[in-house]
Structures are given as C-alpha cells and as structure tokens.
Amino acid sequence: MALHHSHPFASLPGRNQTIEKFRPSAKPRISCSSSHGSSKWKREYTSVMIVPTGVGASIGGYAGDALPVARALSSVVDCLISHPNVLNAAMLYWPMPNVLYVEGHALDRFAEGLWTLQPVHQNKVGLVLDAGIEEELRIRHLQVADATRASLGLPVLEYIVTDTPLEVEKWVDPKTGQSTGRIKHPSSLLRAVQTLVSRSQVNAVAVVGRFPDDETDDIDDYRQGMGIDHLAGVEAVISHLVVKEFQIPCAHAPALSSLPLSLCLSPKSAAEEIGYTFLPCVLAGLSNAPQYVVKDSESLGKDCIVASDVDSVILPIDACGGDGALAFSRSKRYKVQTQKPLIIAVEENETVLDDTPDKLGIEAVKVSNYWEAIGVIAAHKAGIDPLSLRRNKINDIQCPSFLPSNGCAISGARSIA
C-alpha cells in the first residue's frame, strides 16, 4: 500500500483563519472561526455541545444523527466545541471551520480547567490497525485512508499494525443500560501509538479495532433507530486510553464484517450501511482537531482556548452527570466573564441515564428541543435575556428587601445584577 511516508507539506506550521477579539482585562484571543460577522468590540461566543456516547440518546445515539444540530449551532456561534460522537457519521462528515473536534476524555479535562485547546492548521495523523483484522478488511481500510489522502488531501502519514490482536470485548452495563467494554491487550495499542509518535512524529491517531460480529437479531433495534449503540461505549474506552497516555487527539473506527441488506432501516442508522468502514469521518475530524495543552505548560499560547471562554453548554436533559457537564455547571466566577456558562438541557433528547439538572442541583435552562436551544443561544450571544423573547416572562424589576420599589416595600426579593 502507498500509506507509509510523510507528505512533504505535512509539518508546515500554521493556524486556522482567525479573527482577534477584544476582551477587557485579557489578552486578545485568536478565534477558531471566521467570526460570522460579529463585532470586533465583542469577544467571540463559544458553545459546547455534548451528547454522551453509548447511552441511547434519541438524537446523537446513532450514526451521526446529531450532526445536523451541530451544523445549525455552528452557524449561530463563533466557536463550537464538540466530540466525535456528535461529529462522526461513519462514511459521512461535514467540514465546519469553526468547530473543534475534541475527544471525550480531553473534553472533560478541558471543562475541569486542566487542559486547554490549541487550534491548529493541520495535524500529522497516524493510523493504528488491530492485528486481529482479517487481510481483506485491512486492505479495505488502507484503501479508505489512501482515498482520503488523494481525494481530500488529508495528512495521513503512516499506518502500523499492532503486535498482538487487541481482542475487543463489549457489553451493556446492566445497572445503567450503557454500552461499555474493554480491550484485552491495551499495552499492544499503546506500543503501536508510541511507535508512530516516535518514528513519524504524528500528533493525532486514528485507531481501527476488530470488533466481534453481532448476530443480526442483536442489532435490529439499533438499525431501526431504537435502543443503544453497542459499539460506542468501548470505542470511548479505546480513545480515552490513548488520549490519557499521550495527550494527543484520538478517535476510533470499528472494523466489522458487512451486514446483510435490511429492508427496514432507519435513516438515523443508515450512514453505517453505505460502505466497508467507518474510517472517513474519523480521519477528517482528526486532520485539524485542536491539540491538548496542559494549562500550566510553558507552551501555552495566547491562541489557546480555556474553559473560562465557554459561554454555553447544550446537552440532553437526563445526561448532566458526566465529568465535563458537572465541571461546567460548578465553575467559579471567572475574571473576565461575570457568570458561569449557560447550561441548556434539551428535553426531547432522552437517554438511558437519569442525571437531570434537578437531581444534581444544576441551574439550567430547560428547553423542549434543539430548535428552542439554538434560539436561546442566539439570544444569549446577542446579549439578550432569552426570557424577553417569551410571553409574560419578564416581571417587575426587583430590589433588595425593605427598600421601596414603586412606592412599596418588597420583602425577600432578589436583586438584579
């Protein structure tokens, strides 16, 4: 195969197209977007979209069915941060210049303020193939990688086969209903990634693991747009392992035998039925995914995005218990921002979880669907109280207790900052 040597232009330095914003008492930060016409006197608006993996989300629990939400949201905000479960669609993907493709473990560390995101112009991507993949299926994946290099110009430099089959195992947690799993030989994966990093200086890694083939009956619900994705949970385990060890972008694509043709297939699952691999979207996402930088690192640049830059977080109504969501909801007041990010919980997007804002004591704006969520974000970005767009939602202005208001004393009232 042709996929062995680095492209002569792969290591050229660069940055995304950027617009510098003015922020009082802070250094101007370089944007990850083309600004969407926003005023240079306002700092850019950053939103995070989260749909947890392998939890049967009504929107985002299938083959890229949350991607339309991300596309719509990206047209409203200056910068959108999301993760592979939202942005991957097997053989399909959609380039969005102001969207940052951030792996789930890295997104949690970012939310906690431990890591920052550094936008890049281009990464050098390496490919790890599980030694357990059969020859014909391996060749299919290498042909996909070469196709993305030739037709999309993606900087995929080299591939390596693990020295031992990974032996992927997957199951559904009986307590939570989430899909999860493990690989029996994680050290084999880490050795392969280390070799790519050392030999070719790759700074992003795509992993293809050979997954056990399901009985058709076991995945009928998923193919019909119901139930959970049995692959997604262990895919997250694999990418988390690499990101935690190497602190570079990573995403996973499963290698599976082709399924028999189904005459009853949901459009939400159809993206996984149109090719031999799920690899194209992963390579596209990793090609310009931001790098992860430890916050106290000397290499922290002024263009790095930090958790305090996030203005709003949008997620399913019952999936607010993840590390990232909790970190955002409990953030202390920032030096530049006057308040925590706005948490928006979408009621229509239900999962198998039961971590609602009310149960966790999280202050959140509850909306019926993503239509409403995007409207709330548009108002928030414009500096408008979202409630002013609703009928009879703005009440008389309040003042502290015992002070006269319109000639009356008001007891126990909340002051308006």
Q: Is 1 exposed, middle or buried (0-12, 13-18, 19+ CB in 10 A)?
A: exposed
Whether the Cβ atoms of residue 107 and residue 324 lie closer than 8 Å to each other: yes
Q: What is the pLDDT of residue 3?
A: 55
Q: How confident is the model at residue 285 (pLDDT cuts 50, 70, 90)?
A: very high
Percentage above 90 pLDDT, the chain: 63
Taking only the tens place, the pLDDT of each residue in 320-346 is 999 999 999 987 644 444 468 999 999
What mean pLDDT do residues 110-115 have? 95
Q: What is the pLDDT of residue 297?
A: 61
Question: Residue 396 above 50 pLDDT?
Answer: yes
Question: Residue 209 above 60 pLDDT?
Answer: yes
Q: What is the pLDDT of residue 334?
A: 47
Query: How does DSSP classify residue 90?
Result: T
Q: Is 265 exposed, middle or buried (0-12, 13-18, 19+ CB in 10 A)?
A: middle
Give the 3-state secondary structure of residue 119: coil
Q: Which of 104-118, 193-207, 211-225 has the lowest mean pLDDT?
A: 211-225
CA 356/CA 128 separation, integer angstroms: 38
What mean pLDDT do residues 379-383 have? 94
CA 149/CA 142 separation, integer angstroms: 11
What mean pLDDT do residues 194-205 have? 96
- Regarding predicted confidence, which is higher, 152 or 43? 152
Q: What is the pLDDT of residue 263?
A: 73
Q: How confident is the model at residue 224 (pLDDT cuts 50, 70, 90)?
A: confident
Amino acid at 178: Q
Amino acid at 264: C
Q: How confident is the model at residue 40 (pLDDT cuts 50, 70, 90)?
A: low
CA dihedral sign, ordered 212, 214, 218, 224: positive
- In the chain, the N- to C-terminal Cα span, in Å, equals 64
277: its two tokens = 């691999």
Pick from 238, 217, 211, 62: nearest CA to 137: 211
Q: What is the pLDDT of residue 311?
A: 96
Whether the Cβ atoms of residue 81 and residue 47 lie closer than 8 Å to each other: yes
Give the 3-state secondary structure of residue 116: strand
Question: Residue 201 above 60 pLDDT?
Answer: yes
Upper half-sphere CA count for residue 393 (Cβ side, 13 Å) = 7
Amino acid at 407: G
What residue has token string 């380039």?
A: 95
Q: How confident is the model at residue 214 (pLDDT cuts 50, 70, 90)?
A: low
416: its two tokens = 């308006």
Pick from 313, 312, 290: nearest CA to 303: 290
CA 45/CA 34 separation, integer angstroms: 12
Q: Which of 239-243, 310-314, 338-342, 372-376 has the lowest mean pLDDT?
A: 338-342
Taking only the tens place, the pLDDT of each residue in 311-320 is 999 999 999 9
DSSP for 125-182?
EEEEE-TTS-HHHHHHHHHHHHHHHHHS---EEEEEE-SS---EEEEE-TTT--EEEE
Q: What is the pLDDT of residue 378?
A: 97
What residue has token string 């950027």?
A: 18
Mean pLDDT, the chain, integer: 84
CA angle 343, 348, 354 (to 5 degrees): 70
- Regarding predicted confidence, which is higher, 234 or 18? 234
